[in-house]
Amino acid sequence: MTVIRKSTMKVRKRYRAAHSSSENKRSKIVIMNALFLICFAIYQIILSRSNGGREAVVSTYKSFLKGGPLPRDSGDIVYRGDPTTVGEDQPKIETKVQEQQSIEENEGEIPQILVQHDIFSSENEVKLQSDILGGEDGGELGNKKELSIKGEPERSYVFDTDHQIFHNYFPGKSGKVVEDMLIAHAYIFHQNTTYGGCCGSRSAKMTAHEDLLDALGLKDVLRFRCPRDYIHDTKTRRSVIPKDRYMSEDTHIWTPEYVDYLRSLVTYPERRHKEYTIVVHMLRGNTSPCKKVNRGYHSYLSNLHYQNLIDKYMKPGARVIIYTSAKSFEDLNEFKNRGYEVNTGTSLKDTWKEFVTADVFIMSRSDFSMVPAMVAKGIVVYTPFWHHPLRLWKRASKSIMKKTDEETVRLQKTKCLYGIE
């Protein structure tokens, strides 16, 4: 019995020793995991301050939990705010992928579509290349070749390649979206920093904006990108500017220096017409003199106004081309009867190409006119409205504006059945 009891005690001691060793190993594993998570959290805090803010942290954390980059069918978080602002709530929106729809300039907003980014893909690599970096007031980032329209010497632009600035995407018509992008781009130009991109969830309209930018060769300059697209690059500082900051000066920020720089980035299309050409953008569609003024101006300009401007710049044998909408408050046949070309179904991209290559470009009171007018090679005729003109633009004379105002009043009295809406 004594021998059996001693053997039993030895077995129990060995079991207790083995159990204690197993417990010690488990404790070590738990401690190591805790230390790893603490180090990972510290790394994310450092990353959030240097590479796109909290949105970058969220993307990296999700990638870590899933064991790699986000899959193509996973959700993504769209942030709207300044990631450099600590302590402020930044709303986040999660949306599902929807089918893309065809776009027309006068259509309303299209529901956003979430863009999926593989943050480790080659297309999202940071490319600090020379072709990407860099009236009265008139400006963007790109190559350093100066467009020698007037034989001016080549300028060199120096930007801080270690600091990229982004701005948020606000859906709207293509002309307005691109105009806002150029205002943000000009603001960043004056800060001597690098333009990062316009950040937002992917939408069908965004594709239409890119197609329009492609008309001027600016698709890779004014790009739709977010800090999250560069999350693997932790060396470059990235920040997002709020809209009220870069929009505070509106088109005043398009200084002559900036406009020269923007023109150096544009890829001008080939001129389609050999003869002297007057191209007119006539804003119609849903606008009419029966609507209330917008920021002190009627967006609608009468047939008489455009005709007076055409007559002022007319030359023998000139070709007059009008781009407008099929729907018009006034009849367009009076222009056709004069032998003018009236186009109502031309693509927005081809329309911009015509604007920038014409001998004379007559603007409307429209954001869609502003961007191509900035870089147009010929004479630009500006009718006063809520955006500031560039220095070299020709302004509609006071006598013409007086006739325009009188015609607007006449149309309101004779054709506005229900008065001013």
State the SS3 of 367-378: HHHHHHHHHCCC
Read off the pLDDT of residues 366-416 as tens digits, 9 standing for 90 and up: 999 999 999 999 999 999 999 989 988 999 999 999 999 999 999 999 989
User: What integer pLDDT is reported at residue 398 of this predicted model?
Assistant: 95
Enter the pTM of the model: 0.64
| 109/394 Cα distance (integer angstroms) | 33
* 3-state DSSP assignment of residue 338: coil
Read off the pLDDT of residues 111-157 as tens digits, 9 standing for 90 and up: 332 233 333 333 333 332 222 222 333 333 233 333 333 444 455 67
Q: Please, what are the domains in the chain? A: 92-265 (no CATH), 277-415 (3.40.50)
List all residues 6 or more positions away from 117 whose beta carbon is below 8 Å from its beta carbon: 70, 76, 124, 226, 228, 229
Long-range contacts from 74-81, C-beta under 8 angstroms, 24+ separation: 74/116, 75/114, 76/114, 76/115, 76/116, 76/117, 76/201, 76/228, 78/112, 78/114, 78/200, 78/201, 79/53, 79/54, 79/55, 79/199, 80/168, 80/200, 81/168, 81/240, 81/242
- Average pLDDT, integer, range 233-241: 87
